[in-house]
Chain A
Amino acid sequence: MHDLVAITALGGPEPRVDTIGGVTCTEVPHIALASVAARMGKESKSTKTLAKLIDAPTPEIGRWTGATVSAFWAGSDQWMVEAPFDTHEDLAAQVEAAMGDAASVTEQTDGWVRFDLNGDNIPAVLELLCQLDLRKVSEGSAARCSIHHIGCFVLCRTAENYSIYGPRSSAGSLHHAIVTAMRSAL
């Protein structure tokens, strides 16, 4: 086992946690990601194989599905697979093995930073951040959107629990945007 020590996207040894008026924003580094893009003509095969892999129906447009290993829709015939980092650091390799020649798989684990929002009244925060029609956002939604000029994914786990994925290099700016909106709205 290698002996290099990881740091989080915000640069600390441990994830950052901020709580403002009933909402907590937590940096979540313990996640492995791999993108899956169906090969030409192998779209349905990809869909089936992915469903097996996440033990749930492959997510429709704008949705996420699965449990321990889950996936969300990222583009036409493209999905992002999520799994716990500690057990799946080699997620890309595992997914590639599973998908075979049906899809192109790319490691995305460190391409992203993830912030989880927990608490009530999260929509009051999100309406200051992104253009999503929050009336239509419900448990299982996974939408791409732009937050302060940063391209993000917003996943609704439950009404009180959202995940926001943003590009890792912009973690600081994204975190600032989220916490600022929390201070303003809550």
Chain B
Amino acid sequence: MTQSNRLDGGQIDRNTSLSFRFDGRSYTAHPGDTLASALLANDVRLIGRSFKYHRPRGLLTVGSEEPNGIVELRTGARKEPNTRATTIEMFDGLEAHSQNRWPSLKFDALAVNDLFSNFLSAGFYYKTFMWPAAFWEKLYEPMIRRAAGLGSLSMEADPDEYDKGFRHCDLLIIGAGPAGLMAALTAGRAGADVILADEDFTLGGRLNSETMALDDQNASDWAAQAVAELSSLPNVRLMPRTTVIGAFDHGIYGAVERTGDHLATLPEGKPRQILWRIYTQKALLCAGATERPIAFENNDRPGIMMASALRTYANRFAVTASQRVAIFTNNDDGHRTAADLHAKGVKIAAVVDVREDAPTNYDYEVLQGAQVVNTKGRHGLSFVEVAMPDGSTRTLDCGALGVSGGWNPNVHLTCHQRGRPVWDEALAAFVPGADLPVGLSVAGAANGVMSTHGALHSGAEGAVKALDLTSTPPDLPEAEDAPVTQKPFWYVQGCKRAWVDQQNDVTVKDVKLSYQEGFRSVEHLKRYTTLGMATDQGKTSNITGLAIMAEVAGKSIPEVGTTIFRPPYTPVPIATFAGRMKGQEFHPTRLTPSHYWAKERGAVFVEVGNWLRAQWFPLPGETHWRQSVDREVRQTRASVGVCDCTTLGKIDVQGTDAAEFLNRVYANAFAKLAVGKTRYGLMLREDGMVMDDGTAARMAEDHFVVTTTTANAVSVYRHMEFVRQCLFPDMDVQLISTTEAWAQYAVAGPNSRKLLQKIVDPEFDLSNEAFPFMACGNVTVCGGLRARLFRISFSGELAYEIAVPSRYGDALMRRLMTEGEEFDVIPYGTEALGVMRVEKGHAAGNELNGTTTALNLGLGKMVSKKKDSIGSVLSEREALVEPDVLRLVGIKPLQPEEKITAGGHLMNTDGPVDAAHDQGYVTSAVYSPILNSNIGLGLVKNGAERLGEKMRLVSPLTDLTVDVELVSAHFVDPEGERLRA
């Protein structure tokens, strides 16, 4: 079929032909077309089916407000459901399919719903489907769900990339119609930083849709010339294909630029869309207005469209929906469409004007005071029935009907910060209210200024006011300045089914029923009938629904109120908001200096926050992780092992008040810690719960190096800054994180000293006397590299932690391995670390779960009452010190081989197993290759007094019951002889 509905002229490139497919059928189009205009050109009127009754639907509009003409665009993983044909820029090879129909668009089985529409009235589902109760889940709901939705997802990962960026300007102009262009010229020539954004791919707005003249130029030529000048100004940035989706606090606007949607395929590395956060001093909304329909019997047939849309299709896209067109209007603008189509040789069946005094000085028939009362045509309009003022009826043969019910200013963004539009009687429409987002003003049709001259003028004025320009604004071109003449008219009385919200199938009757049942506030109306909840967000239906509600309520429209609009202005792909933060890049990945070495060793890694840490280091022949972990534990306790602990937070605390500062931050005392010594520190939140634990090493009188757990590094630093700046502002303390600067390794096991003696330069004496347990100091290694040495132990063995500048971490680790060969040194990972700390009874993440106090963890004595420290006071509240509070204990199964589970609950051996008799829970559980037994740590009511007691560990979730005994948490070397050796 060859574009039988093409007209002359228009802004399309006839020299190039593009081919596209719709529902498997091939058609041709031209650059400058949208899918919508191309379908019309090829005389395709039936494009989709409605949501509820599956009524045949065609295009209603020419813009992003389109409720009916929505399709599935592209195929495979790039399939895009619910895409408006009116906003799809044509490209060669474009492929689209109709949706929400089966088996085919023409013959849709669920169209049967339409026959039963009486039973499916608004809210019917709230009143039924209740008996028998089980049927809702099993029958009714699945039925409803299958019918729900319009388009479908591909279920494949979206292969495209998306970017997010930031731009700044003095003035953001939203919409590049006459008002926006004039505002941009005014501000641009004055030298302001301007961003002009428009959702269309051609700037100019309605100027591209009209035949009128500006000065002696054709409107679209004037627009093109203005755009040319603007693009030549360095301080003006034009952003076509960019929808400003929302007005957020403090002048930040969200905008979506469609950089790739008009391309058949994206160039390598280029994004499909970009989410811009635009930071503005001022913004000017020039978003124009949207023509609204009139509701009448069967007003939803393919071919029944907005009059202004017909005009745009004809003037800009050189397309007519049919060779024979009628118009139904309540205002003069409808006649403008008739005139333009007539001039292009389209037959005008008649203009049906509800006004008795409608102008008739045209060379086509005008039916004054008449109304369209019905339409016919199964898959497309064939004729309309008109009620004449004298009561007679006329039928008009036509393939398209242009409807014009007046214009609604696009006030959406003015509502995004809960500003409410106000009713304008003259326009019979809502215009922006006084309560606008700070910095935003409105010009042109969006502000109710409907003539071209008015738009140009208010655009220029808007720019001058927004920027307090002193320069004289440019002269305005001569343009039409016709007043708005209309008779408010919302729907034709007495019709059985007249559509208000065409996508969601909400009729005039539904609105009336909603009132009848008491759903009378606008919000109730919306929610009860789903009016305006479809993908077009009610751009063509909300006001009509409101007007009907006002009529039945006997109130004025403003009395009934308006629903405020929320972002986004038009729907935005979820991926656009995500940008690059997906897949592996969802969060930054933090690697330790010896990561690449560990990888060579075949380490298995685990995510710890954003870090990747070696979990264990499997050797050839080890088939189960337990083998590797058991070996690492045995080998470390038997000789020596090395563990990368770079991820621990490290904070440099300096200043003459450093010691006193730590005294406040930690629950235990630090003032008297000697230089060259390290101390375990327990940090509480102000509410008395344990926040974190770590060590503080006193490198000098006024210099501490503090370590935190990996998980809490950031929050502890933030907390310390809070204490420093907000609580004790005059303390002489300086903080800085050094986590990244040092690669730190734990060297643990009876041979750790021997190994380190081969690494640390000989002038440093590591003997137990010279460098005892908890000693710390600056040393040099491998012939003079500066390093820090701490004699601290998490494993319970004789152990050290040694730190070197990060760039040398990899080399040091390799050196430790070679020098350690004589001791069969092994690297161990976080699993072995975890096993050894449980064997030693050290509390860690699972115990420091934010609900445990020092008392719970058996560290109550550490909370010094002789000084002021964060959390000390509230840790003494009555319920936190009751005799039967949870206490940390060791847990051993009576049968060593029996597995115990972290997260299992503890019950008395006799007595019921239920929440009411819960005695506590297991926090950590491991297999100890040293004790050849499963062991665990747990929190048990008054546990400290119950050592030796037998209990039942139950985990119904994992179907487990084990008899266990409560024991001391210190399974290995309770006296701590090893770590002091």
- A: which residues have CB within 8 A of B? 1-9, 11, 29, 35, 37-41, 78, 90, 103-104, 106-112, 127-128, 130-135, 148-150, 167-174, 176-177, 180-181, 183-184
Contact = CB atoms under 8 A, between A and B. Distances in A.
Contacts of B587: 149
Interface string B581-600: 10001011111110110000
Contacts of B733: 40
Given A4-B815, A184-B269, A169 B592 contact: yes
A178 B865 CA distance: 52
B711 to A, nearest CB: 15
List of 3 A-B pairs having minimum Cβ-Cβ separation, nearest first: A183-B269, A104-B654, A40-B732
A6 B168 contact: no
Interface stretch (B399-407, B794-802, B805-813): B805-813
A109 B740 CA distance: 9
Interface string B274-318: 100101000000000000000000000000000000000000000
Nearest to A150: B588
A3 B738 CA distance: 24
Given A106-B736, A172-B591, A183-B270, 13 more contacts: A3-B783, A4-B785, A29-B807, A37-B734, A40-B732, A106-B652, A109-B741, A109-B805, A110-B807, A128-B163, A172-B589, A184-B163, A184-B270
Given A148-B580, A184-B270, A169 B736 contact: no
B780 A108 contact: no
Contact of B585 (A110, A132, A176, A181): A176
Interface in B585-624: 585, 587-593, 595-596, 610-611
Contact of A148 (B193, B274, B585): B585
Among A109, A127, A130, A134: residue with most chain B CB under 10 A: A127
Contact of A168 (B611, B657, B703, B806): B806
Given A169-B591, A183-B268, A110 B580 contact: no
Nearest to A113: B740
Interface in B798-843: 804-808, 810-812, 815
Nearest to A93: B786
A148 B588 contact: yes
A169 B811 contact: no
A134 B167 CA distance: 8
Contacts of A37: 654, 734, 736
26 contacts: A2-B781, A2-B783, A4-B785, A4-B808, A5-B808, A6-B807, A7-B811, A37-B654, A40-B657, A40-B731, A41-B732, A78-B736, A107-B738, A108-B738, A109-B741, A110-B743, A110-B807, A111-B739, A111-B741, A111-B806, A131-B166, A170-B589, A172-B591, A184-B161, A184-B163, A184-B271
A111 B588 contact: no
Contact of B740 (A39, A112, A177): A112
A71 to B, nearest CB: 15
B782 interface: yes
B573 interface: no
B763 interface: no
B656 interface: yes
B784 interface: yes
B165 interface: yes
Contacts of A181: 163
A4 B734 contact: no
Contacts of B736: 35, 37, 78, 104, 106, 108
Nearest to A109: B805
B654 A106 contact: yes
Contacts of B270: 183-184
Contact of A135 (B193, B654, B811): B193
Contacts of A168: 740-741, 806
B166 A127 contact: yes
B883 to A, nearest CB: 46
A33 to B, nearest CB: 9
A183 B580 CA distance: 13
A7 B738 contact: no
A169 to B, nearest CB: 4
A111 B590 CA distance: 12
Contact of A130 (B166, B595, B807): B166
A115 to B, nearest CB: 14
A110 B784 CA distance: 17
Contacts of A4: 781-782, 785, 804, 808, 811-812, 815
B166 to A, nearest CB: 5
Given A3-B782, A29-B807, A104 B734 contact: yes
A110 B595 contact: no
B509 interface: no
Nearest to B786: A90
A176 to B, nearest CB: 7
A16 to B, nearest CB: 14
B744 to A, nearest CB: 12
Contacts of B567: none
Contacts of B165: 127-128
B654 A127 contact: no
A132 B656 CA distance: 37
B742 interface: yes
B810 A7 contact: yes
Interface string B651-664: 01011110000000
A11 B595 contact: yes
A137 to B, nearest CB: 11
B78 interface: no
A39 B734 contact: yes
Nearest to B811: A4
Given A2-B785, A11-B595, A177 B580 contact: yes
A9 B805 CA distance: 12
B366 to A, nearest CB: 55
Contacts of A127: 165-167
A38 B734 CA distance: 8
Given A39-B734, A128-B165, A133 B589 contact: no
B589 A173 contact: yes
B164 interface: yes
A174 to B, nearest CB: 7
A131 B278 CA distance: 10
Contacts of B590: 167, 169-170
Contacts of A148: 580-581, 585, 588
A39 B656 contact: yes
Contacts of B810: 7, 11
A134 B806 contact: no
Contacts of B279: 131, 133
B732 A39 contact: yes
Contacts of A78: 734, 736
Given A1-B783, A183-B269, A8 B588 contact: no
A109 B168 CA distance: 34
Nearest to A77: B734
A2 B780 contact: yes
B468 interface: no
Among B168, B702, B782: residue with most chain A CB under 10 A: B168
B866 to A, nearest CB: 26
Nearest to B162: A184
A176 B655 CA distance: 38
Contacts of B156: none
A179 to B, nearest CB: 9
Nearest to B705: A106
Among B269, B593, B741, B786: residue with most chain A CB under 10 A: B741
Contacts of B161: 184
Among A9, A111, A171, A181: residue with most chain B CB under 10 A: A111
Nearest to B703: A104
A127 B655 CA distance: 39
Nearest to A111: B741
Contacts of B274: 128
Given A1-B783, A170-B589, A173-B585, A131 B277 contact: yes
B249 interface: no
B585 A111 contact: no
Interface in B40-78: none
